[in-house]
A = this chain, B = another copy of it.
């Protein structure tokens, strides 16, 4: 799956990923109204609105992008119907040839991490049958519990040729509270980065590892340092656009081969129609606005890489 991610990035020339994190207030009124007309103002109605919104954005952008990253919390908050919309979104994106990164940030002790791993990446056994319940291609994993929490994901990744991105340095303002604390003369995130490199050696694709890392666009200097610590890890970089990152700040997340990083934008793409820059599309053409925002983002990142 890391090979497919790399191939998709090379095919599109766009090392970017669209974060499908649909807050209800991102979804145009008309899409919501249609869903509520059918299902009422219910969790099912919200889930239908999310699904129709996602589908339109995917339909309008899938040929330009290598991957999507649905944030499961935005679905889980609508309970079971929301999670059904998550699954439908994952399945649809895979049909479209996209790599799907489930942003689930799970992580627990051994047997529990194993349950998350089979549920999201692998197959669960029921009597003589087996099922792939959520079936993402990659997931994000929280490392706080150490190797016990990561190894069960690694086992399933090896079996299924799938991958994960481990939280190393997150994009949020308070990420430093624990992650930046110095252990001797090195910050905790660097220690986690070293572990990512070690876990990654156990499951290599052709040029990159199936084990990647999450490092926020909002911390470009740390990205530069971490790039060296984990040379074979793909870095998933959230925080572009709405959270403040820009293409030129992000070149050091990439290797010399122009690969090794994939930049995520969520709100900046899926709610593009709300920005002044794309307002001319009008609310009803929100998918076209997202397409224009993807084109602009891909051009920004490409030009930054060409001019570095």
Contacts and interface: CB of A to CB of B under 8 A. Distances in A.
Given A108-B73, A182-B183, A78 B133 contact: yes
A87 B80 contact: yes
B105 A108 contact: yes
Interface in A113-168: 113, 115-116, 118-120, 124-129, 131, 133-134, 142-149, 167
Interface residues of A, number: 71
A50 to B, nearest CB: 11
Given A41-B127, A111-B23, A126-B43, A79 B178 contact: no
Contacts of A148: 172-175
A183 B182 CA distance: 6
A41 B179 contact: no
B177 A146 contact: yes
19 contacts: A21-B112, A41-B127, A42-B126, A46-B124, A76-B133, A77-B133, A79-B87, A79-B119, A79-B133, A80-B133, A83-B83, A109-B171, A144-B179, A146-B174, A148-B172, A148-B174, A149-B174, A178-B191, A181-B188
Interface of A: 21, 23-24, 32, 36, 41-43, 45-46, 71, 73-74, 76-80, 82-84, 87, 105-113, 115-116, 118-120, 124-129, 131, 133-134, 142-149, 167, 170-179, 181-183, 188, 191-192, 195
